[in-house]
Amino acid sequence: MAHTRLMRELQRQGVSRREFLTFCASMATVLGLPEGSAAAIAKAVENEKRPILVWLEFQDCAGNTESFLRASHPTVADLVLDTISLNYHETLMAAAGAQAEGVLDETVKQNKGNYIALVEGSIPGDADSGYCCIGGRSALDIAREVCGNAAATIAVGTCATFGGIPAARPNPTRALSVADAVPGVRNLINMSACPANAENITALIVYYLTLKQWPPLDRYRRPLFAYGKSIHDGCERRAHFDAGQYVESWGDEAHRHGHCLYKMGCKGPATSQNCPNVGWNEHTNWPIGCGHPCIGCAEPNFWDVMTPFYQKLPDVAGVNTDRWLDTVGVGLTGAVAAGVVVHGIGEVMRRGRGRLVVEEKPAAGKGTGEQAGAKK
């Protein structure tokens, strides 16, 4: 069998075909695709024309870039050089200054409607404010031009998805999510979390390469394969929650035995992401697995409404906690309360013109991307 350029490059880097197929199988698992999909993924990743990507960074800490750089299967170099064509990324590209901005300008002009924009960080809402300018242009102008001409936009991380820490009260820069900064942007997909998990970003691109469409989304425009289930539902400590076995203080016997962290402030019942299954750091572990509560980093306004991080949620939707727990006034907002039930109601997938689409409940608030129409 003739080797493709990708396979030659993987071999050059010491990655065997078996390891490549293992990667494809792991992607199929993350995506929840049926057994046997790994072969289709392998074929698509090997043979499909590379999509052009531009990665914009605005008001951020570069944590999502760091997360992406840690993607182990395939290595980021494999992705950048072979599977995708990352034309512009301030942190990764060798070019700088006017040369770098020229690459972005050229990419947008020559590939109008045919490239994918990834955005990391929030965007100051006032173009004349002087906050976050690159090459003399405001982040708002750049986002509107680049995302406005893209085939799809992927908001990477909670800042781009919901405004993030820069949007925390009192929000001095009037930080906006991509959805709010570029209303009506085409095919917006939100990959919330702080940072977004590189496995999920990779899986999203693999899904697109394989199926030539974007995956079904939840009401916050997040892929269901990654955000379709709560942390609580997938948690390895769930049996302890159900049995009323809680950690009461750090290092106590229950903590040492891996009991539930609900009383220590775990926001897993109000948070949706696939951390229990996908894990972090090459599947080494994940926060709850190593004894720390989930802080709800994938949910809107988590920095305001999930705090204090070490105070427990007042109640858990659908679960009678009265037997064990006294109520405390954490003061969850409607947005978070909606997040608890978001995957249980309102999402009806149907097939139309060969594409999966999602019928969503009416928008509950700004900053979620709910208002951005993005059906392909």
- Give the interface with ligand SF4 as residue ranges (CB under 6 A): 193, 231-232, 235, 237-238, 241, 260-262, 266, 268-269, 271, 273, 275, 286-288, 294-298
Task: Kindly give, in sequence order, each residue whose CB lies less than 8 Å from that of residue 324, ignoring residues fewer than 6 positions away.
Answer: 244, 246
Minimal CB distance residue for ligand SF4: 268
Nearest CB to ligand SF4, comparing residues 287 and 367: 287
In the complex, minimum distance from the CB of residue 309 to ligand SF4, in angstroms, rounded to a whole number: 9
Task: Kindly give, in sequence order, each residue whose CB lies less than 8 Å from that of residue 220, ignoring residues fewer than 6 positions away.
Answer: 161, 190, 192, 227, 300, 339, 342, 368, 369, 370
In the complex, minimum distance from the CB of residue 362 to ligand SF4, in angstroms, rounded to a whole number: 26
Task: Kindly give, in sequence order, each residue whose CB lies less than 8 Å from that of residue 254, ignoring residues fewer than 6 positions away.
Answer: 240, 245, 246, 247, 248
In the complex, minimum distance from the CB of residue 257 to ligand SF4, in angstroms, rounded to a whole number: 13
* CA pair distance 146, 98, nearest whole angstrom: 17
Nearest CB to ligand SF4, comparing residues 150 and 295: 295
In the complex, minimum distance from the CB of residue 373 to ligand SF4, in angstroms, rounded to a whole number: 27
Nearest CB to ligand SF4, comparing residues 224 and 231: 231
Nearest CB to ligand SF4, comparing residues 187 and 197: 197
Determine what percent of the chain falls in helix, strand and coil, rounding each to the nearest 5: 40, 15, 50
Nearest CB to ligand SF4, comparing residues 174 and 238: 238
Are the CB atoms for 83 and 209 separated by under 8 Å?
A: yes
In the complex, minimum distance from the CB of residue 127 to ligand SF4, in angstroms, rounded to a whole number: 32
Nearest CB to ligand SF4, comparing residues 53 and 261: 261
Q: Quote the Cα angle for 59-60-64, to 5°.
A: 145
In the complex, minimum distance from the CB of residue 288 to ligand SF4, in angstroms, rounded to a whole number: 5
Task: Kindly give, in sequence order, each residue whose CB lies less than 8 Å from that of residue 167, ignoring residues fewer than 6 positions away.
Answer: 122, 159, 175, 176, 177, 301, 367
